[in-house]
Amino acid sequence: EVQLVESGGGLVQPGGSLRLSCAASGFTFSGYWMSWVRQAPGKGLEWVANTKFDGSEKYYVDSVKGRFTISRDNAKNSLYLQMNSLRGEDTAVYYCATRRGDFWGQGTMVTVSS
C-alpha cells in the first residue's frame, strides 16, 4: 500500500523557518518525481515545488522562489521542504505528492502568525 506521511508542521512567527518531511513507502520512491502542494484555509490548491528522481532538477512557483527549498533522500525514502522567511500567506496545509498527482499524503498544517 502506498503511503506518504508528512510531518513538521506547526505554528511559526513571520520571518521564521520550518522544515517539512514526507516519509514514503509502498512504491519505488527513487523512480518518481516528487512535489509539494499547499492549500490555504478555505482556498484552492497551489502546486509549490517539484523535484526530479535524483534531485538534480527542482522547480518552484514564483511566490516561494528563494525562500523554500525542496530536497530528497532516496536512501531514506524521504522528501523535504525547507521553508525560510515565512509569511502569513504561507499559512496552509502542505501536501506531499507524486508529480502527476497519483499519490498524496494526508497533509501537515503550517500556520505563520505572531
Partner 1 sequence: DVVVTQSPLALPVTLGQPASISCRSSQSLVSSDGNTYLNWFHQRPGQSPRRLIYQVSNRDSGVPDRFSGSGSDTDFTLRISRVEAEDVGVYHCMQGSHWPWTFGQGTKVEIK
Q: Which of residues 10-69 bind partner 1 (CB under 8 A)?
A: 44-47, 50, 59-62
Least Cβ distance, residue 97 to partner 1 (angstroms): 8
Please, which residues have CB within 8 angstroms of residue 51's CB and are 6 or more apart in sequence? Answer: 33, 34, 35, 57, 58, 59, 70, 71, 72, 79
Separation of alpha carbons 45 and 59, rounded Å: 17
How many whole angstroms from its chain centre is CA 113? 19
Candidate segments 15-23, 66-74, 80-88, 105-113, binder of partner 1 by CB under 8 A: 105-113
Contact 20, 108 (CB under 8 A): yes
Rg of the chain over CA atoms, in angstroms?
A: 13
Nearer to partner 1 among residue 84 and residue 104 (C-beta): 104
CA dihedral (13, 18, 57, 26) positive or negative: negative
Provide, rounded to whole angstroms, the least separation between the CB of residue 1 and partner 1: 13
Q: How far is the CB of 49 from partner 1 (least distance, A)?
A: 9
By beta-carbon proximity to partner 1, the closer residue of 24 and 105 is 105
Total of residues contacting partner 1 (CB under 8 A): 18
| Interaction site with partner 1 (CB under 8 A) | 44-47, 50, 59-62, 95, 99-102, 104-107
